[in-house]
Structure 1
Amino acid sequence: MNLPNLLTGVRFVLIPIYLSVFFEGYVKLAFVVLLIAGITDVLDGYLARKRKQITEIGSMLDPLADKCMMLAVMASLLISEMIPWSAAIAMLIRDAGMIAGSAFFHFRGKKTVPANTMGKLTTVLYYIAIWLIVFEVPYAITYLWFVITFSFLTSFIYIFKFKTLNRGQGAQEAEERKEHISRY
């Protein structure tokens, strides 16, 4: 356990706090809780890189904390009818797919793609969309759809990078199995 991983853990704790505050009717205060989660996200990444404390568990939990928080936010906005079902479903498909895909390939020993500029930009754009929705800015939902479309684009880029990063790994594993079998 190090400070960056502790900050990631704080983000998991902030999820039920956000939901409690939101459903008590303090929507703008809930947005402040979300901003605190965002600050811990930036801070833990910065500290992990600066202190060279990047861990495998941190690399897994950090994006999971982000996705879980975002899913909680979108669920709360959906339940309160601040966003349409279609937007929530699109976001759920994208985020659940990214979580399931990352976990599946991680546990199969595949290399994962670290957070990149496009992913971070997507997160910032989602925060702006949530701010626009919470403060009832006109065209907030139109902007949300722009961000959802952009998030799918970043997912396709991530998949391409994942395939490139792991290209040849399957052939290498097959060769190692073949060599292992030939010894016996």
Structure 2
Amino acid sequence: MSRPSAQTVSAQSDAANRVATVPNLISFVRLLGVPLFLYLFLARRADAVAVLILAIGGTTDWVDGFVARRIRQVSRLGELLDPFVDRLYILATLVAFTVREVTPWQFTVVLLGREVLLGGCLLVLRRFGYGPPQVHYVGKTATFILLAAFPVLLLSAVLGSDAPATVAAAVGWGLAWWGVVLYWIAGLLYVWQTAALVRLSGARTERV
């Protein structure tokens, strides 16, 4: 099996370190949607426009990754920025929804608890010299479902108490709790990955 040439390896390294890429631009545009949503929803109370911003920003979380693979512009920044923007959307929406009483505080605590767990894993990994773990497909699925559920829940609050609002609430909460379960499963998988890396690091230290 032939080994990649030094030129190929260098080109791959340069691509991984690039900042100005189309996928990263998409991620930055999505990032701008977070403060815009918060401003519209909390300050202006422009709920209809806030629903639209949240729907576009949330449900397009797959676009930057798809484009990166499609046009071969995968970068380390993109690998970090994509999940960061997704998580920021979730956290910002949780805070805003709790303030406006769209969702109960118990729901927010359940999701924030998972973020605290993941934060602990990141601290442990950093202590042992590892970076953030690779995003698991279960986590990506959970994120997509949650980001799809939030606009539906907000829509149900905007509609009021009529039949369409009831249907929207049922769909929104169905998606939300499904997303929560997968979100926690992904969190437990990250704990397992962290434990495995710590054991590997310990085994290497013993061999030395």
- Equivalent position of 1:157 in the other structure: 189
Q: Partner of 1:32 in structure 2?
A: 52
Asked if structure 1 preserves the Cα contact closer than 8 Å seen for 2:136 and 2:186, the reply is no
- In 2, the alpha carbon distance for the partners of 1:32 and 1:173 equals 52
Q: Which residue of 1 aligns with 2:125?
A: 105
Deviation (angstroms), 1:45:
0.5
Q: Which runs of 5+ in 2 are unaligned?
A: 1-18, 157-167
Q: Which range moves more in the overlay, 43-52 or 96-105? A: 96-105
Pick closer, same or farther for the CA change 1:9–1:96 going to 2, 3 Å: farther
Equivalent of 2:114 in 94, 99, 102: 94
Q: TM-score, normalised by structure 1?
A: 0.79
Corresponding residue pairs, total: 176
Match of 2:61, SS?
A: helix
Query: Are the aligned partners of 2:121 and 2:190 in contact in 1 as well (CA < 8 Å)?
Result: no
**8 Å Cα contact 2:98-2:108 kept in structure 1:** yes
Identity %: 24
Q: Per the alignment, do residues 138 and 47 of structure 1 end up closer, same or farther by CA in structure 2, a change over 3 Å counting?
A: closer
CA contact (8 A) 1:14 1:37 kept: yes
Are 1:8 and 1:65, in contact at CA under 8 Å, matched by a contact in 2? yes
Q: Distance in 2 between matches of 1:73 and 1:135?
A: 13
Aligned-pair CA distance for 1:15: 0.9
Change (3 A) 1:7 1:142: closer
RMSD value, Cα: 2.6
Which of the residues 82, 86, 107 maps onto 1:66? 86
Question: Normalized against structure 2, the TM-score is what?
Answer: 0.71
Deviation digits for residues 5-38 of structure 1 (CA, Å, limit 9, x no counterpart): 2222222221101111112122232122123323
Question: What runs of 5+ residues in structure 1 fail to find an aligned partner?
Answer: 179-184
